[in-house]
Structure 1
Amino acid sequence: MIDIAKEYRVALPAWIDDELADVPAVLPGVEDRMRLVHRLADRNWREGNGGPFAALVAERASGRIVSVGVNVVLATGISSAHAEVLALGLAQTAAGGWDLGGEGLPTHELVVNWRPCVQCYGAALWSGVRGLVVAGEGPELEQITTFDEGPLRTDWAEQFEARGIEVVHDVLREEALAVFRGYRKAVDEGDIVVYNARGGDA
């Protein structure tokens, strides 16, 4: 019999409870939601869990926070354990199914501190969310952090819109860049591991 692993576990870090202790259950403004995402992203890399990335899923109309996610690639050893994947998976668990746009459910949106990477692009596209809110897009993330976000199409936002997912751009963009710059400073000082695709290396 072949002896193989049969499951793996991805969970939020324990410090999330402390970070959310003073956060109300409802954040009615999109900037308030993004501020929380930036706060989680900044703490996440400082705690050593993974990259400076966070996300949340909210009910768009009410602002009720359904789930949050942070990047836990380093903490788990799982390369797909990105913030959006955690936030969406936990929201789907709470909703009781894979389709966050299903009948009888409120309209959900995903709030992220930059345009999704190629993996999270697909995860968001198929999740059932009806809105995507990003702090920014463009080359700055990769230039600052040195992460490889993958070969995403230039019309990525239009592809969301074509599928009924409204995209809101540039919400607290400078705050996102400030988190990335703080992360890069730590990388340059040798305190942080930047995980990436091998880029063709053996």
Structure 2
Amino acid sequence: MKYWRDITLPIPEWFKTWVIDVSKPFPEVEQRMSLVIDLARMSIKNGGGPFGAAVFNQNTGELIAPGVNWVVPGKSSLLHAEVMALALAEQALGSYELASHGSFELVTSVEPCCQCLGVLMWTGVASIVCGARSEDAKAIGFNEGPRSLHWERELKQRGISVTREVMRSQAVEVLQSYTGEIYNSQLQASNWPK
């Protein structure tokens, strides 16, 4: 029998020394998205995927936790930018339920894939702000999985507001600059709902 250990998910080494003035709030949605797009650029530069995300206090603009796509270097399909940002926010606040600590917003450089969409529904975020569209990620070869065509409406029914296409052209530019590995592209989507 194998010895099972605690699950530890790696974060990038450069993340640990990332310099940002966390005392400075990000009151405007464009400021938040700009930070997230910069995270996506830095992720590419440091060997990660072309996606960035962050959790902010919706009322104060305080950065709670950043995230980048670290799937390939971290050797874990869980390490999407949104999942990392949400997990680090939960860790920072000491709870799996963010809503019990205030009103929080997930800002992501690209609309969530099926995995990230599922995760964010259970975290207690009040809103999600997206840059590029899912189609933009698909256009460079990423497989976004079987998302409901009505994902936006379904989130709103759960009390999660959705804002799309904030700084989309800048987010698309980062996606298009990516020359790294396109993981999960071999998975067949032919049997997935359209």
Would you call these one fold, judging by a TM-score over 0.5? yes
> Structure 2 unaligned runs (5+)?
189-194
Corresponding position of 2:95: 97
1:78 and 1:147 mapped to 2: Cα distance?
Answer: 16
Letter in 2 for 1:94: A
2:181 to 168, 193, 199: 193
> Any idea what the Cα deviations from partners look like across 1:47-72, whole Å, max 9, x if unmatched?
113x1011000001110000001111
Letter in 1 for 2:122: W
Letter in 2 for 1:77: K
2:107 and 2:45 mapped to 1: Cα distance?
Answer: 21
**Deviation (angstroms), 1:16:** 2.5
**Deviation (angstroms), 1:6:** 2.0
Contact 2:69 2:81 in 1 (8 A): yes
Task: Please give the TM-score of this superposition, normalised by the length of structure 2.
Answer: 0.90
**Deviation (angstroms), 1:96:** 1.2
2:86 to 70, 88, 96: 88
Note the 1:155-166 alignment, pairs <5 A. Answer: 155-166=150-161
Corresponding position of 2:12: 13
2:42 and 2:151 mapped to 1: Cα distance?
Answer: 28
Corresponding position of 1:74: 72
Contact 1:19 1:40 in 2 (8 A): no
Q: Does 1:118 find its partner at 2:118?
A: no
> Any idea what the Cα deviations from partners look like across 1:159-182, whole Å, max 9, x if unmatched?
110000011111100000000111
Contact 1:72 1:83 in 2 (8 A): yes
Contact 2:11 2:74 in 1 (8 A): no
Moved runs in structure 1, 4+ residues, more than 4 A?
A: none
Corresponding position of 2:131: 135
1:75 and 1:120 mapped to 2: Cα distance?
Answer: 19
Q: Does 1:57 find its partner at 2:55?
A: yes
Corresponding position of 1:171: 166
**Percentage identity across aligned positions?**
34
2:187 and 2:52 mapped to 1: Cα distance?
Answer: 25
Letter in 2 for 1:62: T
2:15 and 2:73 mapped to 1: Cα distance?
Answer: 14
Q: 1:4 to 1:194 in 2, by over 3 A?
A: farther
2:26 and 2:104 mapped to 1: Cα distance?
Answer: 13
Corresponding position of 2:41: 42
